Structure 1
Amino acid sequence: MRWLWLQKTDSRRPWTGLPIQVPSKARAFFSKVLVSMVGNGHSTLFWSDNWLQGKSISIIAPSLFSIIPKKIAKIRTVHEALLNNRWIYDIRGGLTVGVLADYFKLWDCLSGFELHPLIEDRHIFSIARDGKYSAKAAYKGLFLGSCAFGHYKRVWKTWAPSKCRFFLWLVAHNRCWTADRLAKRGLNHPSSCPLCDQEPETINHLLVSCVFARIFWYNLLRKFGLDNLAPQPGLTSFLEWWEIASETVQGMVKKGLSSLISLGAWTIWNHRNRCVFDGQTPSLPSILRQADDERRLWELAGAKGLSFLAASLTNG
């Protein structure tokens, strides 16, 4: 997009007249956010640029624009098009009712429009505060209208191996292959939770509502004096519980807790998979031992929050 911006705003560069290879999506985005204020009309494209009432003719008169040859639309400037109404001669193809209606509409829009020979065209990058292109403004513009992911920091900024953070991202978007998702697609699935054998399995049930999971969390957190933060009966959202628990503590304890919750969720998921695919029996001592072994490996790999919790336990 910077190349396109420089081509439009700095004609002194020797390459501005050459065709520039730019990805189609970048070119389309640029054409939507660039607004041209016409002076002499030498650097504004008549058919393609947003210059007439802040819009392009492709928007104002789409039927008429559809019969304009692309080669002409890419090079015809406003100055050339308005000279003796040359734009009329660019019209090719059948004159349908829609085309004729657009023709008269465009004629009305152009009536009274005058060029100013001594004033250069001015181009505005509309999504930037100062109207000038910047990579920062373009990058932000790519995310206009997108939805923010509220749990971004807890999922992606917590110290945990990449595979665990990716798993938590799947949890946040309900993309884990638990029984409820398998059932929706007509695939074989367990009739009840593999760990408690009491309720239908969903990812939130598996991580916080399951009796087995709640006992696991209580024992895992109790080791660090955080058992008061364990999920309580009636809780139905893993991420909501994580958010509430995180807001209860501060500093390094908060970092350690987030890593511990990430580790616990990852351990529950792996234990569940062993029960489903390997035929193992749910075992609380086994899953706690697995979590403890994994925690030590994380500490050795640089999980400072977990190391802080372990040190606090030792000092206490």
Structure 2
Amino acid sequence: MFVLYSFKHYLLSCVSIYGNWSMSLTNRVWISDIQGALTVGVIVDYLHLWDLLSDVQLQPEVEDRHIGRLASHGQYSAKSAYESLFLGSTLFEPWERIWKTWAPPKCRFFVWLIAHNKCWTAERLARRGLPHPERCPLCDQKAETIDHLLGLYVFAREFWFRFFTQVRLQSLSPQPTEISFHDWLERASDTTSGLIRQGTNSLIILGAWTLWTHRNRCVFDGAAPSIAGALVIAEEEQRLWSMAGARGLSLLTAPTPGG
């Protein structure tokens, strides 16, 4: 027998099944088993269910079958029920480059904040009417946004070029035509593959974290912007990440044969 679960909410809240559908449908036993408050919604569901079951003819010789309408093969499974919870959800496109990349959790979380434009830059402070610097603390030329800070201005582009030159990937450094940090991250990641891609993603997260912490030292500690100083810190972090298990990063920094 085929049973359509159109009114599962009603069944779950008002009807206790005796063990199988045939016992509940025999002589319409399910009607006498209704429990709970008869709200307008319950009564409407009841009338719909009555219409649905009024023409059902039991076939005792045929075993009951559960049909999962959300499963491609028509069979109910825990997996199909779980996947139904995500119907209508939207895909966060850069999730894999963030959460599947080797990096300390705080750094991956930082890049996740970048993707959602949740970093407390001057632009974000201004939108909330909070005190903020009028210009970027590193270049003192343009308003500070997270994309500007991490790749769309001369300080960051010079940092990335010199940082990537150390691992012979300078061709992947951001160009003046880049629109956003994540667009560049996507382009750089898609240009490579395998362990090189993993290492490139780790390297970009490391560089972004270095620029952010360097910016914070300039804002809160009064430090002077210094590409050389940022590179020294990035190189040390790179060494520590490789020691901690960043295999892709270790591959990028390994000496070339005969080098």
Is TM-score (shorter-chain normalized) higher than 0.5?
yes
Alpha-carbon contact 1:195-1:210 (below 8 Å) kept: no
Unaligned 5+ segments in structure 1 are 1-35, 39-50, 59-64
Which structure is larger by alpha-carbon Rg, 1 or 2?
A: 1
Query: What is the TM-score with the length of structure 2 in the denominator?
Result: 0.80
Aligned residue in 1 for 2:169: 226
CA distance 1:314–1:286, shift in 2 (3 Å): farther
User: Are residues 1:241 and 2:206 paired?
Assistant: no
State the match for 2:228 in structure 1: 285
Query: Structure 1 residues 225 and 110, CA, compared in 2 at 3 Å: closer, same or farther?
Result: closer
- Tell me what 1:37 maps to: 2
In 1: Cα distance, 2:33 partner to 2:245 partner = 70
Matched residues in 1 for 2:223 and 2:81: separation?
52
Contact 1:205–1:236 (8 Å) recurs in 2: no
After TM superposition, the score normalised by the length of structure 1 is 0.67
Within the candidate set 15, 26, 49, 1:73 is matched to 15
Amino acid at match of 1:37: F
| Paired residues for 1:139-218 under 5 Å | 139-218=82-161
Change (3 A) 1:134 1:217: same
How many percent of aligned residue pairs carry the same amino acid? 50
| Partner SS for 1:170 | helix
Query: Hey, what does 1:87 align to over in structure 2?
Result: 31
Give the partner amino acid of 1:175: K
Q: Tell me whether 1:312 sits opposite 2:259 in the alignment.
A: no
Deviation at 1:214, TM superposition (A): 0.9
Q: In the alignment, is the contact (CA less than 8 A) between 1:257 and 1:305 conserved in 2?
A: yes
Q: CA deviation at 1:311?
A: 2.3
Task: Write out per-residue CA displacement over residues 209-242 of structure 1, whole angstroms, 9 at most, x where no aligned residue.
Answer: 1221111111111222222221111312111112
| Residue-by-residue CA offset, 1:173-212 (whole Å, 9 max, x unaligned) | 2222222222233333222222112222221111111221
Check conservation: 2:150, 2:181, Cα contact below 8 A.
yes
Residue type matched to 2:250 in 1? S
Following TM superposition, by how much is the alpha carbon of 1:99 offset from its aligned partner in structure 2, in angstroms?
Answer: 8.6
Cα root mean square deviation, aligned:
3.4
* Contact kept? 2:15, 2:33, Cα under 8 Å: no
Tell me the CA shift for residue 270 of structure 1: 0.6
Look up the match of 1:271.
214
3-state SS of 1:220 partner: helix
* Cα distance in structure 2, aligned partners of 1:241 and 1:191: 26
Structure 2 residue identity aligned to 1:150: E
Q: Gaps spanning 5+ residues in structure 2: where? A: none
The answer to whether the 8 Å contact 2:174/2:184 transfers is yes
* Residue matched to 2:70: 127
Q: Amino acid of the residue matched to residue 27 of structure 2?
A: L
State how far apart, in whole Å, the 1-side matches of 2:215 and 2:96 are. Answer: 26
Q: Deviations over 1:98-124 (max 9, x none)?
A: 998877666554543433344443222
CA drift at 1:264? 0.5
- C-alpha spacing 1:102/1:131, structure 2 compared with 1 (3 Å): closer
1:208–1:236 CA contact under 8 A, matched in 2: no
